[in-house]
Chain A
Amino acid sequence: MTSFLRQPQEARLRDVLLVLVAAFGLSACIALIWLGMRAVMDIGGACAEGGPFVPVQPCPAGAPAALTLGMLGIFGFGALGIWAGAQIGGGWAALPLLAWPALFGSLGWNFLEYGLTFEEGAIVWGWVIPGVIFILMAVVPLWFVWSARASSVPINARFGLPAGREAATEPPPSLGWDTSHAVREEPPPEAPSEAIDRLERLAELRRRGDITNDEYERFKQALLRDVERDT
């Protein structure tokens, strides 16, 4: 079962600091997008300036910069967090994935809040529907993560992310999911193909009725003893 705080493995200070920078940057970018979106929704949900058309609705101050910075920054800090987290190991490469539910959950909240209260007494379905979709986009992956707590598949593997350095003696710092399987056991030695051929021939002889079940079992045990002795 999972332990939420385990004795961590050693990690490089540089990687730990980069993970913290990524966490800082990702949440800052999401907050910028959230604030920029609310500023635009405050004036009706759309704005445009310049170009060949008369600016009908100027954008609120700061919103274009905040939205641009936030959307570009998410990718940069996300990549940084995945890379640095992979250096630490223990599923930390998956930390930036939390930005997905954080982003869609917070923007979905905006849609729902404004859709339900923007015009008194009237529900703005054009905002409520994307709000519901965004909330679902946030919650469904979270549910998968939650259900993976005790799974035998590490969280980073579920999303195709690298496992990072494997624990030598102690498990790495944990995000709350079991990483004990990160150290894979050696597969059992395979039976020589010659022995398999002989086993198949034996089974064939029994099917054809050339040898009895007792003889088959005796031959098989002898064959397996030979294989064990050879390996």
Chain B
Amino acid sequence: MIRPSWLPVAAIASAIAGVLFAVWLFAVLAG
């Protein structure tokens, strides 16, 4: 068990990382 007081910040960071990942993936898919 942990005390994730950092969860809201981590969730926002994850969402931003997801967008960056999608941009990279789309560039790969588009060749």
Residues on B facing A (Cβ under 8 Å): 1-5, 7-8, 10-12, 14-19, 21-23, 25-26, 28-31
Contacts of A9 in B (CB 8 A): 3
- State the majority secondary structure of interface residues on A: helix
Interchain CA distance A88-B25 in the complex, whole Å: 31
In the complex where A13-B2, A16-B2 touch, is A173 in contact with B23 (Cβ < 8 A)? no
A20, chain B: closest CB distance, angstroms: 4
CB neighbours of A10 from chain B (8 A) = 1-3
* CB contact list, A16-37 vs B, under 8 A: 16, 19-21, 23-32, 35-36
Contact call B30/A39, Cβ cutoff below 8 A: yes
Q: Given A16-B7, A27-B16, decide whether A36 and B26 contact each other with a Cβ distance below 8 A.
A: yes
Give Cα A92 to B29, complex, Å: 33
Cβ–Cβ < 8 Å partners of B11 in chain A? 19-20, 23, 95
Nearest first, the 10 A-B pairs at minimum CB distance are A62-B29, A62-B30, A31-B22, A27-B18, A28-B18, A27-B15, A24-B18, A23-B14, A10-B1, A28-B22
**Assuming A35-B22, A35-B26, is B3 touching A24 (CB within 8 A)?**
no
Q: In the bound complex, do residue A20 and residue B5 qualify as a contact, i.e. CB atoms below 8 Å apart?
A: no
Q: Chain A: how many interface residues by the 8 Å CB criterion? A: 39
Tell whether, in the assembled complex, residue A5 and residue B31 are in contact, meaning their CB atoms are under 8 Å apart: no
In the bound complex, residues from chain B placing their C-beta under 8 Å from that of A5 are 5, 8
Query: Which partner residue on chain A sits nearest B25 by CB separation?
Result: A32
B26 near A25: Cβ-Cβ < 8 Å: no
Known contacts A10-B1, A10-B2, A25-B18; A20 and B26 CB within 8 A of each other: no
- With both chains docked as a complex, state the minimum distance between the C-beta of B1 and any C-beta of chain A, in angstroms: 4
Contacts A27-B22, A31-B18, A31-B22 given; does A61 touch B30 at CB 8 Å: yes
Q: From residue 48 to 80 of chain A, which have CB atoms closer than 8 A to chain B? A: 60-63, 65-66, 70
Q: Which of B1, B5, B23, B29 has a CB less than 8 Å from the CB of A31? A: B23
Are A19's CB and B7's CB within 8 A? yes
Residues of A within 8 A of B21 (CB): 24, 28
Contacts of B23 in A (CB 8 A): 31, 35
Q: Is A7 part of the contact surface with B, judged by Cβ < 8 Å?
A: yes
Tell me the nearest residue of chain A to B30, going by C-beta.
A62
